[in-house]
Structure 1
Amino acid sequence: METYRFQPGETPVLISLPHVGTDLPLDIAAGMTDTAHQVPDTDWHLDRLYNFAPAFGVGFLAATQSRYVIDLNRDPAGHGLYRGRDNTELCPTTSFDEAEIYNEGCHPDGVEVRRRIGAYWQPYHRQLREELASLKERFGIAVLFDAHSINSTAPRFIESGLCDFNLVTADGTSASPHLSRRLANVLACTDAYSSKFDRESKGGYNTRHYGRPEDNIHVIQLEVSQATYMEETAPFRYRADRAALVRPVLERFVSALVEWSWENAEVRRQRVAYY
């Protein structure tokens, strides 16, 4: 059973897409509501939106299973991301709009949660840890770009709604401030889209857990409003016309990420000529 897709790159940068998956194993789907079968809280089409990144030499790690199976950006110990605020669980039981995910009596118990950790969470994070270690060994630096998207309203979490780009570095602790400022400037230098840097969110488990800039492992999270590239209601269609406008900004963002990683790598950049 394939629980993730991995494609190595040729730069110190890896893109992680922990919420892009839509698969629901049959045994889990059998206990879910009809609404949950639509997996509305997916980070829809992000693999398509960022499909230019391999040409920049960036590696990819993408989940195949829905976040309703298990959330790959949550602490496996079950600790919430924010004290005193609404949090979704490691194995979510309600959607972002607070609809029930499971039919009555079908919620995952402790035994089932532990099974899903072993079957889905651990393989993804094992590959993530191994690739970050490999990048660090090859280049002396590793940069993880944890890519996300979300419905532009998200009233459960932010009453006023989200801006177009939300850049997060766990209050400045997960990445070099030089990298963070460069990326924030890329997003701010466009009049067509709004952006915020380390404001409403501190980032998920991946940003907080893997970011160790003092050890030359840098992690940034970018949350893109789905209104910029797709229809936000079912069937959640990709809008090529909208994507064509936002993709140049994302290309500049990823390009800046790669350029900074090479500037701070301990090995000489390899330039390959294609004929």
Structure 2
Amino acid sequence: MDIMALLSDPAAWAALFTLIVLEVVLGVDNLIFIAIISNKLPEHQQQRARRIGLILALVMRLGLLTLIGWLVTLQTPLFDLGIQGGINEYNGEPTFETALSGRDLILLAGGLFLLWKATKEIHHNMEPKERSDDVLNKHKKAVQLTFGAAIAQIIVLDMVFSIDSILTAVGMTDELPIMVTAVVITVGIMLVAADPLAKFIENNPTLVMLALAFLVMIGAVLVADAFGFHVPKGYIYAAMGFSVGVEVLNIFKRNRLRKTEIEATA
């Protein structure tokens, strides 16, 4: 179908809108990870790291779109571990699969990396704060990332999330212009949202732990997905939305209490 025919086709516009919404939702995981990693850099490097991370995500997604034929072959099983899974009593399908494809291996590696990284960050956040200045400075040096290391970690997760994103796009429509447009608009939205999200997380330390918990959950879901145990994304994002809503109420409550205390002492 040519461009003019697509522009005049209501179904194409509906597919584009639906795909943008799905891509934005799927991009939240990517954005949270980039925000947490970039916030560990010196302040003057943070915005640049977020920009580079998201531009790389765009480049990867557009590159994968040009290799759709190869990307689809990633879903062909490469080998089978030979472990028998149970059978789902509702649909008769296996509860998990051990015939792993290229996509499964990428999801498995990305999920394990995310579990390791998020758990490591939680460990650092749980460290006691009552330390001498020397010990605290030594601790900060130990956990501080170099700019190159931050970009390298962002690239690894960009690849995982990009493959998941493009496979979703391929499942939604066969029209390449629609997929390209949706990807460009989605990454544009993420570029606009990246700095405010990172700043919001930085200004509300309790949200860091919540975001890291999300990343642990997402890592576990990626590993499960690699073995054929598909968790509906709606459940995941509904849980994330509910948790964020509760935490936002807590933030409002703390701010109001702080304001009341300031007024009482004035």
Instruction: Tell me if TM exceeds 0.5.
Output: no
**Bigger radius of gyration:** 2
Bigger relative CO (Cα 8 Å, ≥ 6 apart): 2
Question: Which has a greater percent of helix?
Answer: 2
User: Given the two structures, how large is their TM-score scaled by the length of structure 1?
Assistant: 0.28
Question: Which has a greater percent of strand?
Answer: 1
